[in-house]
Amino acid sequence: MTTPKDLAYLIAKDDIKEVLARYFQGLDRSDRAQVKDCFTDDVVSHYDGRSSMRSGDSSARVGIDALMNSLVTFDRHQSGEWKITTHFMGNFSLLSLEDNLAQTETNAIAYIVTDEHGTNTVTMRSLRYLDRLRKTPQGWKICARTHTLDWSAQTPTNFHITMPQRVSVIHG
């Protein structure tokens, strides 16, 4: 028998997974507004800085503007440097849920198609997101994030479409 507390847990877990799915979808659509909507205004984020695609320091970014300005995805999509990206959300764990706070761990694989000296190359990256989320009047939002790169590999692509060729409507 499901108790109200169990049902509330399942609803919160599903709502939280939806926030993360919207985040990945927003990255792949290069939709700044959609990505921004996944975070609180006072978000604190740490990206480990080990990626050649995002070299630099791993110091904390405080606030939504600092986080959004640190994400290279949008500029690289717009410039054409990144032809297309695809993020797959894998293992998801709701580590804790108490009142209006939750902690999660999400593993993802990112595929990033680039042009490396006239050869289309796909970089595959294993990413781990350790997030703290807070329930706001607008729903669950990420208020703290630690992002790690666990591994990365590159290979030539056999085929890819570009961002303008991607279709986001359902026909039928």
Flag whether 71 is in a domain. yes
Flag whether 102 is in a domain. yes
- pLDDT attached to residue 4: 66
Flag whether 167 is in a domain. no
Flag whether 48 is in a domain. yes
- pLDDT attached to residue 1: 56
**pLDDT under 50: residue ranges of the chain:** none
Give me the domain span that covers residue 51.
Answer: 4-162
Residues in the chain, overall count = 172
Say if residues 35 and 43 touch (Cβ distance below 8 Å): no
Q: What is the number of domains present in the chain?
A: 1
Token pair in block for residue 84 = 């297309």
Read off the pTM.
Answer: 0.89
| CA distances, 25 to each of 88, 103, 110 (Å) | 9, 21, 12
- pLDDT attached to residue 17: 98
- pLDDT attached to residue 88: 97
Flag whether 170 is in a domain. no
- pLDDT attached to residue 10: 95
Instruction: Provide the CATH number for the domain around residue 45.
Output: 3.10.450.50
Flag whether 169 is in a domain. no
Flag whether 103 is in a domain. yes
- pLDDT attached to residue 171: 62
d(CA 106, CA 25): 15
